[in-house]
Chains A and B, each alone.
Chain A
Amino acid sequence: MGSYLVRRFLLMALTLFGMSILIFVMLRLVPGDIADILVDAAGIADAKEKAKIAKELGLDRPILEQYGQWIGGLSRGDLGFAYVSERPAIEEIAPRIPISAKLTLMALFFSIILGVPFGVISAVRQNTALDYSLRVISLSGLSLPSFWLGLLVLMASVHWFGTIPIYTNEPRGFLQEVGLLAIPAAVVGFRSSALIMRLTRSSMLEVMRQDYIRTARSKGASNTSVNYNHALRNALLPVVTVIGIEAAFLVGGLIVTETVFNIPGVARFLVEAIRWRDYPIVQNLVMLIAFVVVTVNFLVDMAYMVLDPRIKYAD
């Protein structure tokens, strides 16, 4: 197990290193840089002014030197200066991370808390009206773009309650924050919950046809005990894998949700930074996301061991 962990950590480090090269090169392959954009935003394309800005931002230096400077800084915890705001990148990124993290966790919580129990109910009550209803709802969850759903929620809220649940002021206190983030989290988590529900249902149906479930029933175990203690635990393995993948996909979903609900999180900020070719922001944020995804994948692999004692990671 020890050497497995060492191998995993080395692999994670290698993945992140590869990501850093990929993002650095890809950003520079996209046409236009911040100097182009700054002069373009002013409606001019003055070569002299552009060269002056490029020099000021160090864009005229060799690409390897720029990469070395970024990675060197990153290893020291120095993320550099944001090109657009001209402030330290860490000051721009840090306040936004908790907002998106809370939103992601709430969305994930929402998708699990709805997806798993409804998936079990749907499987247990297979081919009943309840099963059909849940399947239709889950299908709609997969089909509705969260952008559209978000707007629909806002419109309904304005129409019926005369208020709009968007993030205009920093919430005062935990409860207000939960209230502000709950609706966008539900919107972004709706799709994931639908996916988790469908997967739980099919996985449960498969498990419930196994011999050991029949044995448990014949031994007089209650329905609840059979469904949740025997079947669900075994049905959860593929679900956990999907939850791990969904956690990464949620970041993609956050971009539109943060835009529609006007949440000043990382995802919306990242899109804006890409638009402005704000390399220090984009590079560091993508690295952060890559780190989170790699870590979640690692945690999912660890969760397998807890859920299925037969799984052992050999040295």
Chain B
Amino acid sequence: MRSRVAFAAGTLAAFVLAAAPAFAQKQGGTLKISHRDNPPSASIHEEATISVVQPFMAAFNNLVMFDPNEKINSPDKIVPDLAESWSWSPDQTKLTFKLRSGVKWHDGKPFSAKDVKCTWDALIGQEEKSELIRKNPRKVWYSNLKDVTVGSDTEVTFVLGRPQPSFLSMLAAGYSPVYACHANGRDMRSKPIGTGPFKVVDFKRNESIKLVRNPDYWKKGRPYLDAIDWKIVPNRSTRTLGFVAGEFDMTFDSDVTFPMLKDVKAQKPDAVCEARPTNVNANILINRDAPPFDKPEVRRALVLAIDQKPFNDILFEGHALYGAAMLPPPAGFWGMPKEMLETLPGFGTDIAKNRAEARAIMEKLGYTKDKPLKIKVATRNIAIYRDPAVILIDQLKAINIDAELDPIDTTVWYNKIQRKDYSVGMNLTGGGVDDPDTAFYENFHSSSDRNYTAYKNPEVDALIEKQSAELDRDKRKKIVWEIEKKLAEDGARPVINHNVANTCWTPQLKGLVLQQNSIYNGWRFEDVWLDR
């Protein structure tokens, strides 16, 4: 009898303890966040910047999403969102979703499978829905998507050209919300409607973005917050001082650099600050058509000249990560192991030996200390681009390259790159999803608009296709590493390092989980609450 009572008491205690966090969450309050700049629009599908995803993701739902409680986005941690469940056809070319019923758009109209079809029809360029999305920076994500068919109001099927295991991960990204079929592009860019936990009530250019709780949200009891108030504060010092003074509950994502972190912690000791990889890497663009970089040995010399440590020490106080094209583990799901990485050109530890080899190549081509190769290093005229470019220029001197900084107005940067009007450039590349398909197709496949260096290697193209269709995860990883190795050997966008930055918030802000392998995910804010 006593043991039964003890068991019952123990069970009750365990239940109470387990349930305690659920009871602890408080409803209400306005979360105030500073925003770094003016988002180009509110239409997530049309843009490629965290400035849009972070504030507006909370207005939408996806079909599926990366588990918001997990720090690392992985294909194994995808959870239902507007889809209740999903299944693949036996040949892995049809992905069918069962959708939730009773979900409403913010304007009260019912959500159905037709909305899903409309969204992806617009994304793959079907003419009849072209006004919903006027530009699509992620066309390459859906190059394998042939059709979207509606089975019923609650069933929709994505028809693929061939098996593509990454497809579900791409649908789980913050960049893949479902749009309303009855909305128009102009509304989606200025005051979008979604099915998400918050409604956009105001988007004042250069001023603020206001979201309020969606009382009809399909997930009962969510969100906890009454509102989210974003203030656009373009000056970083003002933003940081605003956070320190308590004007904001949270900084913009990754807004706090390591040197700034010391100031923030000194002035606001109770601030919770988390450093995490951003899945944005600094890389060098080499124009393979511009002499003498049309010669593979010159490209190799340039890669051998790079010493990644000073970049890391100066810009990140040693916190940045070393990796090839994919974000390295443990934060990255697909990057190659460290011991393999060290065998790649430009990743060895003997910098003096690498540079001696590079100098020998350059001298053989007639570029000596007295008669150096004169080039310009083009980069976007923004500090985060210029700073690594200046360090690169300094390092190139060691191999008889006399480089000069060519800062390009940010508005014409990609035009210039696509015109191949440069020889060497410093670039930053961010990944919407930590998946080889998005990274490789976007940046290295010969058919991509965003393959800025026009890198063309049929062997790499074939390997990209092969890994994309590979269903066995371990086998796929091995192909991915092979591609990373080939890209490094070919000097295709040599990666300098993978950035790490800090985000800070007030200790009263609870339930926020920052995703470590993509800054573009995890901004739904439905589980976030204020302990006030």
A contacts, CB < 8 Å to B: 31-32, 36-46, 49, 52-53, 56, 82, 84-87, 92, 151, 154-155, 157-159, 162-164, 166, 168, 259-262, 264, 268-269, 272, 275-277
Q: Which residues from chain A contact B267 at a C-beta distance below 8 Å?
A: 158-159
* A49 and B238 contact, CB distance less than 8 A: no
Q: Which residues from chain A contact B417 at a C-beta distance below 8 Å?
A: 45
Annotate B198-242 by CB proximity to A: 1 below 8 A, 0 otherwise.
000000111100000000000000000000000101110110011
Q: For the complex formed, measure the closest distance between the CB of A85 and the CB atoms of chain B, giving whole angstroms.
A: 5
Q: Which residues from chain A contact B411 at a C-beta distance below 8 Å?
A: 31-32, 36-37, 40, 275-277
Name which residue of chain A comes closest to B41, CB basis: A84
In the complex, 30 of the A-B residue pairs with CB atoms within 8 angstroms, ordered by the A residue number, are A40-B413, A40-B414, A42-B46, A43-B48, A43-B137, A45-B414, A45-B415, A45-B449, A46-B449, A49-B134, A49-B136, A56-B134, A84-B41, A85-B205, A86-B189, A158-B241, A163-B245, A164-B242, A166-B242, A259-B235, A260-B237, A261-B238, A262-B242, A264-B204, A272-B38, A272-B205, A272-B206, A275-B411, A276-B40, A276-B411
* A45 and B418 contact, CB distance less than 8 A: yes
Q: Does B409 contact A (CB under 8 A)?
A: yes
Q: Does B22 contact A (CB under 8 A)?
A: no
* A43 and B40 contact, CB distance less than 8 A: no
**8 shortest interchain CB distances as A-B pairs:** A42-B137, A164-B245, A45-B418, A264-B207, A43-B48, A32-B411, A49-B135, A32-B412
Q: Which of B46, B137, B205, B413 has the most CB of A within 10 A?
A: B205
Give the CA-CA distance A89 to B244 in the complex, in Å.
Answer: 36
Q: Which residues from chain B contact A269 at a C-beta distance below 8 Å?
A: 205-206
* B205 and A44 contact, CB distance less than 8 A: no
Q: Which residues from chain A contact B190 at a C-beta distance below 8 Å?
A: 85-87
If A151-B237, A260-B238, A269-B206 touch, whether A53 touches B135 (CB-CB below 8 Å) is yes
Number of residues of chain B lying within 8 A (CB) of chain A: 43
Of B32, B136, B204, B241, the residue contacting A164 (CB under 8 A) is: B241
* B247 and A168 contact, CB distance less than 8 A: yes
Of A52, A151, A260, the residue contacting B134 (CB under 8 A) is: A52
* A162 and B206 contact, CB distance less than 8 A: no
Annotate B374-413 by CB proximity to A: 1 below 8 A, 0 otherwise.
0000000000000000000000000000000000011111
Of B137, B204, B245, B412, the residue contacting A162 (CB under 8 A) is: B245
If A40-B414, A84-B205 touch, whether A262 touches B241 (CB-CB below 8 Å) is no
Q: Which residues from chain A contact B186 at a C-beta distance below 8 Å?
A: 86
Q: For the complex formed, measure the closest distance between the CB of A268 and the CB atoms of chain B, giving whole angstroms.
A: 6
Give the CA-CA distance A41 to B418 in the complex, in Å.
Answer: 14
* A39 and B246 contact, CB distance less than 8 A: no
* A262 and B231 contact, CB distance less than 8 A: yes
Give the CA-CA distance A261 to B41 in the complex, in Å.
Answer: 24
If A42-B48, A84-B205, A264-B204 touch, whether A32 touches B449 (CB-CB below 8 Å) is no
Q: Does B92 contact A (CB under 8 A)?
A: no
Q: Which residues from chain B contact A272 at a C-beta distance below 8 Å?
A: 38, 205-206
Of A42, A82, A262, A264, the residue contacting B238 (CB under 8 A) is: A262
* B414 and A44 contact, CB distance less than 8 A: yes
Q: Does B457 contact A (CB under 8 A)?
A: no
Q: Which of B134, B186, B189 has the most CB of A within 10 A?
A: B134
Q: Does B437 contact A (CB under 8 A)?
A: no
Give the CA-CA distance A162 to B267 in the complex, in Å.
Answer: 10
Q: Which residues from chain A contact B409 at a C-beta distance below 8 Å?
A: 31-32
If A84-B40, A260-B235 touch, whether A39 touches B247 (CB-CB below 8 Å) is no
Q: Which of A56, A166, A268 has the most CB of B within 10 A?
A: A166
Of A31, A87, A168, A275, the residue contacting B231 (CB under 8 A) is: A168
Q: Which residues from chain A contact B205 at a C-beta distance below 8 Å?
A: 82, 84-85, 92, 269, 272
Give the CA-CA distance A82 to B186 in the complex, in Å.
Answer: 12
Q: Does B49 contact A (CB under 8 A)?
A: yes
Give the CA-CA distance A276 to B38 in the complex, in Å.
Answer: 10
* B245 and A42 contact, CB distance less than 8 A: no
Give the CA-CA distance A107 to B207 in the complex, in Å.
Answer: 22
Give the CA-CA distance A212 to B246 in the complex, in Å.
Answer: 60
Of A49, A53, A262, the residue contacting B233 (CB under 8 A) is: A262
Q: Does B47 contact A (CB under 8 A)?
A: yes
Give the CA-CA distance A84 to B189 in the complex, in Å.
Answer: 9
Q: Does B369 contact A (CB under 8 A)?
A: no
Q: Which residues from chain B contact A84 at a C-beta distance below 8 Å?
A: 40-41, 205
Q: Which residues from chain B contact A277 at a C-beta distance below 8 Å?
A: 411
Give the CA-CA distance A41 to B37 in the complex, in Å.
Answer: 13
Give the CA-CA distance A31 to B415 in the complex, in Å.
Answer: 11
Q: Which residues from chain A contact B48 at a C-beta distance below 8 Å?
A: 41-44
Give the CA-CA distance A142 to B136 in the complex, in Å.
Answer: 49
* B231 and A43 contact, CB distance less than 8 A: no
If A40-B415, A84-B40, A158-B267 touch, whether A166 touches B238 (CB-CB below 8 Å) is yes
Give the CA-CA distance A264 to B412 in the complex, in Å.
Answer: 27
Q: Does B450 contact A (CB under 8 A)?
A: yes
Q: For the complex formed, measure the closest distance between the CB of B483 and the CB atoms of chain A, giving whole angstroms.
A: 21
Q: Which residues from chain B contact A261 at a C-beta distance below 8 Å?
A: 238
Of B47, B189, B450, the residue contacting A41 (CB under 8 A) is: B47
Give the CA-CA distance A53 to B246 in the complex, in Å.
Answer: 42
Q: For the complex formed, measure the closest distance between the CB of A168 and the CB atoms of chain B, giving whole angstroms.
A: 5
* A32 and B206 contact, CB distance less than 8 A: no
Give the CA-CA distance A158 to B266 in the complex, in Å.
Answer: 13
Q: Which residues from chain A contact B413 at a C-beta distance below 8 Å?
A: 40
Interface residues of B in 414-433 (CB under 8 A from A): 414-415, 417-418
Name which residue of chain B comes closest to A34, CB basis: B411
